[in-house]
């Protein structure tokens, strides 16, 4: 299994190697990437397989990918159910059973899949697998994102550890797992962020894919500048809650970001707004990767995810 990440321009020496730059190989078009270089996670560790899941372990962390071609598996709902069912089987047999972060990628995310949007079908299959595995599909669900690619199978990348994370919600937003039925018969299964203890009095904050949503409503339809600003405001709200729970700040310029842009022509505006927020010459700006991808709602133009570290202990 060849799993790529992009090495950060400056990496703290005490940062665990797996966390140095979390960007699964999504098959998305890289629009811009300053100073990022390919590298391999888990060097010299053998690859394991169960069903549609390939994974590697190092005694502390488990990283893997479930891959299903939904054309051969009765549609996206069935594909998502199979991917997550096999994933949960792997975790159940592991000493690192706690999901810390998930990345979901599949083509045609906003397309009709035979009577329902493919993203809504994905949500139905994912949630059912969570319930069957006796995993929380609501409060306490993992941090995650879901993006649309142009081609390829459903790919679900996941990172798991020995200690369960602490889920974080955004006070400006309805929790995704509590969305009303207007967004589909099964709600999305993820938390807005998660704090995870990585040992040695170190904590990582994973911020899920974040967009221009307030309450449960898309804001600033058609306006990419305002949507980018709103997404960053939501990230600030999540950072504030995480700081309260962890007892230490996660400064905006200290995080590592991936920015997903629906329309390549919008890159310049998105980048301008983003760099105004994090500082044009900050490590965050220099390390950010911009990818072209479809967002989980057809009226969303940009989505931002991030992670960052602090020296602290998590309090429940």
The model's pLDDT over 81-138, given as tens digits with 9 standing for 90+, comes to: 999 999 999 999 999 999 999 999 999 999 998 889 999 999 999 999 999 999 999 9
> Which letter, b or e, does each residue of 79-117 get, where b requires 16 or more Cβ atoms within 10 Å of its Cβ?
bbbbbbbbbbebbeebebbbbbbbbbbbbbbbeebeebb
Q: Which residues are catalytic?
A: 303
CA dihedral of 113, 118, 123, 129, whole degrees rounded to 10? 60
- DSSP string of 225-289? HHHHHHHHHHHHHHHHHHHHHHTS---GGGSEEEEEESSGGGHHHHHHHHHHHH-TTSHHHHH-E
Of 240 and 33, the one with more pLDDT = 240
Half-sphere exposure of 101 (CA within 13 A, CB side): 25
Hey, what domains does the chain have and what are their CATH numbers? 4-311 (3.30.1330.40)
Contact 57, 131 (CB under 8 A): no
Question: Phi then psi for 87, rounded to 5 degrees?
Answer: -60, -45
270's tokens = 């998105």
Residue 221 CA to residue 230 CA, distance in Å, equals 11
pLDDT in tens, 167-179: 999 999 999 999 9
Mean pLDDT of 286-291: 90
36's tokens = 């990022």
Strand partners, 99: 160
- DSSP string of 162-190? SS--EEE--TTB--GGG--GGG-SS----
pLDDT surpasses 90 at 257: yes
Residue 196's pLDDT is 93
Residue 32's pLDDT is 59
Q: What percent of the chain is modeled with pLDDT above 70? A: 84
Taking alpha carbons only, the member of 96, 180, 91, 88 closest to residue 128 is: 88
pTM of the predicted model, to two decimals?
0.89
pLDDT surpasses 60 at 180: yes
pLDDT surpasses 90 at 201: no
Contact 284, 251 (CB under 8 A): no
């Amino acid at each position: 299994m060849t799993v790529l990440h992009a090495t950060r321009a400056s990496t703290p020496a005490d940062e665990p190697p797996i966390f140095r730059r979390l960007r699964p190989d999504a098959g998305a078009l890289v629009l811009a990437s300053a100073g990022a270089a390919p590298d391999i996670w888990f060097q010299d560790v053998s690859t394991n397989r169960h069903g549609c899941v390939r994974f590697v372990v190092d005694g502390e962390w488990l990283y893997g990918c479930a891959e299903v071609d939904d054309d051969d598996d009765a549609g996206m709902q069935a594909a998502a159910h199979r991917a997550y069912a096999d994933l949960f089987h792997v975790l159940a047999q592991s000493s690192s059973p706690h999901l810390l972060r998930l990345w979901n990628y599949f083509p045609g995310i906003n397309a009709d899949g035979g009577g329902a949007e493919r993203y809504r079908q994905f949500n139905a299959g994912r949630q059912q697998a969570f319930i069957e595995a006796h995993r929380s599909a609501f409060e306490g669900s993992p941090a995650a994102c879901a993006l649309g690619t142009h081609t390829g199978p459903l790919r679900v990348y996941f990172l798991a550890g020995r200690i369960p994370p602490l889920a974080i919600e955004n006070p400006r937003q309805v929790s995704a797992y509590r969305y009303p039925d207007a967004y589909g018969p099964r709600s999305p299964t993820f938390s807005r962020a998660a704090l995870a203890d990585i040992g040695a009095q170190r904590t990582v904050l994973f911020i899920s894919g974040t967009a221009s949503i307030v309450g449960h409503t898309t804001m600033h339809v058609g306006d990419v500048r305002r949507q980018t600003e709103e997404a960053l405001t939501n990230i600030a709200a999540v950072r504030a809650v995480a700081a309260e729970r962890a007892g230490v700040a996660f400064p905006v310029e200290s995080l590592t970001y991936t920015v997903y842009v629906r329309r390549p022509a919008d890159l310049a505006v998105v980048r301008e707004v983003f760099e105004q927020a994090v500082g044009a010459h900050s490590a965050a700006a220099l390390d950010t990767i911009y990818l072209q991808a479809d967002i989980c709602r057809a009226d969303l133009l940009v989505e931002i995810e991030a992670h960052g570290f602090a020296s602290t202990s998590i309090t429940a």
